[in-house]
Structure formats: C-alpha cells, structure tokens
Structure 1
Amino acid sequence: MIDYTQFHAIFPGQGPTPYSNKDVQEIETLRKSFNGVLFIDRVLKALSIGEGRTYPPKGDNGLRSLHKHICESKVSAHHKLSVFYYLLLDHDLVRGMKSQLAEEFAESSGLPGKYQILMRGLWHMDRKEFKFALEYLAHPSLPSEFADEIVTVLVRHAKDNDYSLPLAYYHTTQPVFKTSEALDLLFGALVRTSITESLFFSRKYPENTRRLLFEKLVSSVLEEQSLGGARSKELVGLPLDGFEETWFQEYLTEGEGSKLKLAASTVETRQIITGRHRGQIRIRGLDEDGPVAKSARSVRAGR
C-alpha cells in the first residue's frame, strides 16, 4: 500500500507539471466561467481541506502545501486519496495520452472504483468536457453527489437550446434536488424541450411546488410564442386535470399571467377546445371565423 503522506510517493519528481503560471491562469479562466466555483472547490470545502482557495496550487511549493493540507485533514483516507487522484489527472493532462499516473495511483493506493468515477467525472466538468463528464457522473454506482450543481452547470452552459445533457443526467440519476434553483433551471430546460413532458414532470411534486411549476410552464410558452404557434397549440391542448384546469384559468385571468399579452386569447382558446362557455363566444364579440376560433379548431383537428 502506498504511503500517501510522502509527497514523492504520489507526485513524480521529473517531467512536466500542471501548475505553471500559464496553467494556473487557464484554470482561473475556467473558474471564472463557472461563476467563481469549480467542482474541486466544492470537494475541498466539503472535506474542510485548506483555508480559502487552495486550488490550483502554484508551482511545486503550492502543490507541496496542498499535499500537507490534505494529509492533515480529518477526513477518511478514501477522501484524501480522491483529491490526490484529481490532482494526478491534471498531471496526466500535461504529460499526454500515454500518461497513467492517476490510474497507477488508484491501483497502488486501493482507491475504490466509485471514488475514481466520481472524481474523474468532476474533473471533466471543471474542464467543460460535459459529454465525457456524464459518462462517469451518470454511473449507477454513484449517489447523486453534487446533483444540483451538476444540473445547474449543464443547463447554464447548454448551447443552441440543446438541453439533452442535463435532461439525460436527470433521467438517468433521478436526483432529489436540494435547491429551488436547480429545480427551476431543469424545469425551464424541460419546458423548452417538451411541453407535455414538463407537465407530467410537475405532477411529481407537492401541490404548492406543482402549481408554481405549472404557472412557469404556461408563462414560458406564452412569452415566446404567438397564438396559433406550434407550442402555444400544444399548451392549450394539454390533457389537464381538474387542479391544472383551475390553475390555468386563474393564472391567466386573475394572477400574474393575466399581464401576458396572449393571456385572454389563450383562455378563450382553451375554453373553446374543452367545450366550455360555448354560448359566450358570440356574446363576447368573438367571430367564429376570427383568429381565436380558428386557432381552437386547428388544435382540435391536430394541425
């Protein structure tokens, strides 16, 4: 078994090192793009390793100092080894494809596989290699560690409204979110991807949260679409239950949703589709050949 308290038992004494001024600047640029927090920062904070920002270490002296902080921390050996494994992935990066320092260390130290999988996944996240990261972080052997943060990063860094990665992570791991921010971001991504699926998703939550999500669904669609657009047609044609039908009407007639430009016409279209208040169509001055009635007929016809 390797003696990890000995610096050179872990880190090579010769060859390229990953913490030159240029390397440190590149890591700091990545940190800035993540609103000032890398996943390794979260790991070190959770393990109470060091005081303040200790990663990336600056040069050999900085790495020795970080090694000392890790060894002196009051956490399990597996957690210490996990941080060393992450640091050795940095070394492998600058040494090229053939370098296997991290894997050799994991084998010689007896670091369990799930810790290797987690730390490699977080390492890829910190380098914005999100597809590679999910190959590890969605592994069934892992608990949903840092799930809120992973979803938040994946949604915020999605390109061209492609939310396949955060949704794939969620559907694979089924995490229970600890923060409203992560839930809100994931739901927003889901709404932009599939209106119907987001409706069914909202039904998993208690009534208060469920209603807030439902109202977010309605407002998100109406803020981006014109009446008669494909997504607004899908919205007014949703298979709502009794609670959702009431929330839909109240939100768009009395609540914050009533301020939306298409609120009134959307309510009317929904009423026509569901067969409610048929006799009021003419009384309200709605022409059966007008845009609202035409939109409703289009939805009923599935066009």
Structure 2
Amino acid sequence: MFDFSQFAAAFPIDGPKPYDQNGVRQIETFRKTFDGVLFIDRVLKALGVGESKSYPPRGDSGLRALHQQICETKVSPHAKLSIFYYLLLDYDELRGARSNLAEALAEESGLPPNYQILMRGLWHMDRREFKFALEHLAHPSLPSEFADDIITVLVRHAKSSSNHNDNDNNNDDTDYSLALAYYHTVQPALQSASALELLFGALARTSVASALRFLRAYPDHARQQLFERLVASVLEHPQAGGARGRELVSLPLDSAEERWFQHYVASGEGRKSKNARVLAQMRQVVTGRDRGGIPVGGQGAAVAVREVR
C-alpha cells in the first residue's frame, strides 16, 4: 500500500532536484511578477500548511520539513497528495519530457483526476503559462476554485496585441481573450469587488455590447455604476468616435440607461472628458432625440447636432 507519509515514497532520492539555489531563485522571480503571491501559496494557506511562503522549500532539508508539515496537517489525504503532485511537477519540469513523477504518484496513490487537473492548472498559472493553465482550469469537472484570483491574474497579465495596429477597431491594444474565455466557460460567481471590476473592464474594452448584457444582470445601483464605467471606458479611448463609440451610441438602451448616459456625459464625471461632446452628439444623431442639443460640460456648452439628410 502506498504510504505518502514516508518521504522516500513521495519524492525521489536520487537525480536532479528542483529546489537548489537556481531553482528557488527562478520560483521567487515568478512570485514577484504576481505581487508576491503564487497560487500554490493560496493552496497551502487554505489547507493550513506551514507558515507563509513555505514554498519553495530550500534544498533537501527544506523539502523534508515541508513534507512533514503537509503530513501533519489535518486535511484529507487527497488534499495532501495534491500538494505532493504539484511539487513533483517541479521535478518533472527540471528532468525533462520523459519524467512523469507526478503522474506516477497520482496513479499509485489513486489521486482523483479532478485534483490532478486543478493542481496542474495552478502550476501552469504560477509559471505564467496561462494558455496551458486554462486547458485545465476551465475543465467542467472543477469547481470555480480561486476564480477571483484567476480572473485577476489573467486580466492584469493580459498581453498587448501585436496585430492591433488600427486605432479604429473594437478593442484597445490589450488581448483579454484568455480572461474572458475562462469567465465565459466557467461562469464563476465572483466574490470580490476588485475581481468584478477587472473583469468588467476587460469586457468593456473588448465588446461594448457584451459588457451591456453583463451589467444588466445586476441590481440598479450596481448596474448604474457598471454602466458609467462602460461609458468611461469608451471616453478614455483616444478615438472615442471610433468603432467602440459607434457601438455604444447604437445600443438599444432602456429608459434608465438612456438617462444615466445623458447625465454622465452632460453633468457627471464624463463631462470632464474632451470626448464627451462627440459621444453625446453621436447618440443624438442615432436616436434623433433633442435636436436642439444637450448641455455638455461644466459651463453648459451646447452640442450642436448636425442635420442628417
């Protein structure tokens, strides 16, 4: 019977080991890019294993100490094995493609596939291999574990799109496709306001119509705040009259949304933007409303509406 409480049963004694000085330095470099917190740190904290930053272990003695801490923690055997699985992925990375120590542990111990999928996904997140991470973390067998943190990392580390040279397209220069793919696939109920704000910002900068559909699921107070954030995301673009601006002013807004829009660009925070007049005028042309102009700006300047012939 497999006894993971024995160090030699869980980890190889011979061969290359990942927690020498160079290996630890590399892991700490990854940690710095994530504001000092890796996903394995969150897992260890959630399970009550060790003190803060017990990963990576320093050398063989550090790994033995961490192994003992894991074994002594009052959590399920599968939870303990999942941490060992993550650590063995470090071994596999160092030893090359032929190494399958993590898979061997899972097979010998009977670690359920969903534990393996989750930990492999988090391991790829910690290595900034986000595309590979999502192949695991978006798996239908997984609960939305660490969803707020996953969304936060994917949005904050979204890459600039090298092929976005046209300023008049429906996106800014950042590709949020991985963050949005994770959200649309998993449909997590986000718990933190910061994660919701980051997700909505990514939605608003990618598809104005999708952002509008998203905010309509919220109560009026939160819905108004998100709607104003949507308008602000369009106003802050250098070319607010471009594709995103045209998409916004062409949306079929309900009466409350129309009122929020007019107030935001005329007397709310949006009036401070040099693009407020442009957006207000575009909306008037599309809707045919108030052809005498609406006041925009702190001094009540009127927006002249061109006659559409």
Cα drift, residue 171 of structure 1: 0.5
Partner residue, 1:65 = 65
Alignment check: 8 A CA contact 2:2 2:109 kept = yes
Q: Deviations over 1:174-203 (max 9, x none)?
A: 000011111111111111111111111111
| TM-score (structure 2 length as normaliser) | 0.90
Counterpart of 1:275 (choices 272, 276, 288) is: 288
Deviating runs (4+, > 6 A) in structure 1?
none
Cα drift, residue 227 of structure 1: 5.1
Q: Deviations over 1:147-176 (max 9, x none)?
A: 010011111111111111001000000000
Identity %: 63
Alignment check: 8 A CA contact 1:19 1:57 kept = yes
Does residue 183 of structure 2 align to residue 173 of structure 1? no
Counterpart of 1:209 (choices 215, 218, 222) is: 222
Cα drift, residue 264 of structure 1: 3.2
SS at match of 2:233: helix
Partner residue, 1:126 = 126
Partner residue, 2:21 = 21
Partner residue, 1:47 = 47
Partner residue, 1:188 = 201
1:120 counterpart letter in structure 2: R
1:293 counterpart letter in structure 2: R
The verdict on how the C-alpha distance between 1:278 and 1:41 changes in structure 2, with shifts beyond 3 A counting, is same
SS at match of 2:197: helix
Q: How many angstroms apart in 1 are the aligned matches of 2:16 and 2:238?
A: 54
Q: How many angstroms apart in 1 are the aligned matches of 2:264 and 2:291?
A: 21
Higher relative helix content:
1
Cα drift, residue 272 of structure 1: 3.1
Q: Which moved more, 1:56-65 or 1:230-239?
A: 230-239
Q: After the TM superposition, which residues 95-106 of structure 1 pair with which residues of structure 2 at under 5 Å, given as runs? A: 95-106=95-106
Partner residue, 2:85 = 85
Cα drift, residue 113 of structure 1: 0.8
Cα drift, residue 259 of structure 1: 1.5
Q: How many angstroms apart in 2 are the aligned matches of 1:169 and 1:279?
A: 46
Q: Deviations over 1:260-287 (max 9, x none)?
A: 2222342233223212112458xx8766
SS at match of 1:293: coil
RMSD value over aligned CA atoms?
A: 1.7
